[in-house]
Chain A
């Protein structure tokens, strides 16, 4: 019988868990794409402030699960609740609800190219806060802070498509970060990065986690998982360390 949360496996409540009610809660979530089942009876609970790592072979549904959490796909059966509110096709038709959800859950794509569409890095980072209606002063402050935090001040006026892979990844994270979502979904964050950038990114994610953000990370990289995960979510046929706190889903 699959557990939704390895709370039983933890002997003490871990640091960082802010409250008992889950921020992300999937219940018997079934999703099929074009008649092919992709997610089967997924039950999952992520509490605020936790870092969960999704591990599974290609095709086990990791990306789809992240899309579900962001409200991009909707289940044929079952439900997904974010901070207690149900996220369904119906509820997302309400533009305000959808915008609120998108502002609270950030998604960093595996391919940074897909995410960047503004003429300059500064514009890219400013896009989200401007959408949120913040004052120009506040927007400007956030852009400065984000550029500094991700160590890309030199790229402020560059066009995103002229950047290298590692620089693009930083910009991609920056443009989501500037909106200050509560939860971040990362799809294979280390893919295609050189080892120096990978090290930097791992450290950065740790700081995000320390700041109390909820992280859901899909990755193949065991060392990233080791350093960050509060617990693991093994998907499909994948079997990782059995001695770590984990749940099995979509098997």
Chain B
């Protein structure tokens, strides 16, 4: 679901980039108010789950691939605004270091996956978990919420793709950026995400949430920190890292993430914006680096991404005021 570079016009990108700034500002404010300092490393681990889930590509009907996001998971554990910040940071790391998602398109990607997804998912979760009691209510709410959240994000992405050929064409009427109109983009994306990708999101979200609730009960914003070991959570992260090469098995690009040559083959021409647009050269494009087998590159990427996220959130914890007990 990551929108690559040059699939959206610069003006579309600019709109979303600008729109995200107050949202990020507000998210930072809410995080400082609601997340206690000692919980911030846990937010880093939750962000790591999110990052890893996006590395497991799954084949979708139609020949493309998709992935889970787990933004709702973070929202349930630490609040929707924390999720907005955590998913945004994960997306930025993916764009800058691994070329997954365009740099200019960061605003749009964050709006879809870091803002809309967790907000929608969390709202649904709250409605359901208040109607159904206990652990069941929580897990059902997580499942339904994350499914709906993912599809809201997919729909927004499809719309952002779909309006490009309508609004941005060259003199001859050919699309400058994404060449697929709404009538193609929406069904194509929704088909995959309403089915397989949505299922993956539910499995990841509910699975990880259930695991955390039983193995590490203090993992969450409401639970009091009892200083117990978070080793099970770390073990799960490590397991996902080692298993990440499974995400390479699904061949084929995700819908809307084709390279220029593949796209040109499919539509018969090279959209001008894509052909001549600026491209950021990340140092591990597509999570791989040359000589070593792809799996090794994938695992190294996963390790780097996870470690970076944990470091960022631990450093962020340092900027929060410590709760010094003066009594």
Is B one of A's binding partners? Answer: yes
User: Which A residues have a C-beta under 8 Å from some C-beta of B?
Assistant: 30, 32, 35-37, 40-41, 76-77
Q: Is the CB of A40 within 8 A of B326?
A: yes
Q: How far in angstroms is the closest Cβ of chain A from B227?
A: 16
List residues of chain A with CB within 8 A of the CB of B324.
30, 32, 35-37, 76
List residues of chain A with CB within 8 A of the CB of B326.
30, 32, 37, 40-41, 76-77
List residues of chain A with CB within 8 A of the CB of B325.
37
A41 to B327, CA, bound (A): 8
- Kindly state whether residue B322 has any CB partner on chain A within 8 Å: yes
Q: Is the CB of A35 within 8 A of B322?
A: yes
Which listed residue (A32, A35, A36, A40) contacts B327, Cβ 8 A?
Answer: A40
Q: How far in angstroms is the closest Cβ of chain A from B300?
A: 36
Q: How far in angstroms is the closest Cβ of chain B from A52?
A: 23
Write the B308-327 contact mask toward A (1 if CB under 8 angstroms, else 0). Answer: 00000000000001101111
CB closest residue in chain B, given A29: B326
List residues of chain B with CB within 8 A of the CB of A30.
324, 326
Q: How far in angstroms is the closest Cβ of chain A from B315?
A: 16
Q: How far in angstroms is the closest Cβ of chain B from A81?
A: 20
List residues of chain B with CB within 8 A of the CB of A36.
324
Q: How far in angstroms is the closest Cβ of chain A from B91?
A: 33
A77 to B327, CA, bound (A): 12
Most A-side CB within 10 Å, residue of B321, B322, B326: B326
A113 to B53, CA, bound (A): 61
**Which parts of B248-281 form the interface with A (CB within 8 Å)?**
none
A37 to B322, CA, bound (A): 11
CB closest residue in chain B, given A34: B322
List residues of chain B with CB within 8 A of the CB of A76.
321, 324, 326
**Which parts of B221-268 form the interface with A (CB within 8 Å)?**
none
A30 to B322, CA, bound (A): 13
List residues of chain B with CB within 8 A of the CB of A41.
326-327
CB closest residue in chain A, given B324: A32
List residues of chain B with CB within 8 A of the CB of A40.
326-327
Could you jot down 19 A-B contacts, CB within 8 Å?
A30-B324, A30-B326, A32-B322, A32-B324, A32-B326, A35-B322, A35-B324, A36-B324, A37-B324, A37-B325, A37-B326, A40-B326, A40-B327, A41-B326, A41-B327, A76-B321, A76-B324, A76-B326, A77-B326
Q: How far in angstroms is the closest Cβ of chain B from A33?
A: 10
**Which parts of B51-73 form the interface with A (CB within 8 Å)?**
none
CB closest residue in chain A, given B327: A40
Q: How far in angstroms is the closest Cβ of chain A from B318?
A: 11
List residues of chain B with CB within 8 A of the CB of A32.
322, 324, 326
CB closest residue in chain B, given A40: B326
CB closest residue in chain A, given B323: A35
Task: Given contact pairs A37-B325, A76-B321, A76-B326, enumerate 12 new A-B contacts (beta carbons under 8 Å).
Answer: A30-B326, A32-B322, A32-B324, A32-B326, A35-B322, A35-B324, A36-B324, A37-B324, A40-B327, A41-B326, A41-B327, A77-B326
CB closest residue in chain A, given B322: A35
Q: How far in angstroms is the closest Cβ of chain A from B317?
A: 12
A55 to B319, CA, bound (A): 36
A36 to B322, CA, bound (A): 10
List residues of chain A with CB within 8 A of the CB of B322.
32, 35
List residues of chain B with CB within 8 A of the CB of A35.
322, 324
List residues of chain A with CB within 8 A of the CB of B321.
76
Q: How far in angstroms is the closest Cβ of chain B from A74?
A: 13
A36 to B321, CA, bound (A): 13
A37 to B324, CA, bound (A): 7
A35 to B321, CA, bound (A): 10
Q: How far in angstroms is the closest Cβ of chain B from A27?
A: 14
A14 to B24, CA, bound (A): 60
7 A-B pairs closest in CB distance: A32-B324, A30-B326, A40-B326, A37-B326, A35-B322, A37-B324, A35-B324
